[in-house]
Amino acid sequence: MKRTTGISTVIVAILVAASIAAQEEKPVPKDSMRVSIAGCTKDYIFTVVRRTTDETRSNPVPAGTHFRMNGPRKMISEIRARQGSMIEITGLVLKGQYLDGGSSGGRVRIGPGSAPTAGSSMSPTGSQNYIDVEGWRSIGDECPVR
pLDDT tens-digit series, residues 4-52: 666 766 666 666 555 555 455 678 889 999 999 999 999 899 999 876 6
Query: Would 14 be classed as within a structural domain?
Result: no
pLDDT tens-digit series, residues 48-103: 987 665 555 566 788 889 999 999 999 999 999 988 899 999 999 998 776 554 44
Strand partners, 46: 41, 67
Q: How many domains does the chain have?
A: 1
Report the distance separating Cα 27 and Cα 29, nearest Å.
6
Query: Would 41 be classed as within a structural domain?
Result: yes
Query: Would 11 be classed as within a structural domain?
Result: no
Query: Would 72 be classed as within a structural domain?
Result: yes
* CATH number reported for the structural domain that contains residue 144 in this entry: 2.40.50
- For residue 115, CA distances in Å to 7, 12, 79, 124, 125 come to 70, 61, 37, 14, 16
Q: What share of the chain is helix, strand, coil (3-state, %, to 5)?
A: 20, 30, 45
Query: Would 120 be classed as within a structural domain?
Result: no
Report the distance separating Cα 29 and Cα 110, nearest Å.
22
Residue 114 binned pLDDT confidence (cut-offs 50, 70, 90): low
Q: Which residues of 36-71 are buried (b: 16+ CB within 10 A; e: fewer)?
A: bbbbbbeeeebbbbebeeeeeeeeebeeebebebeb
Query: Would 117 be classed as within a structural domain?
Result: no
- For residue 77, the enclosing domain spans 31-111+125-146
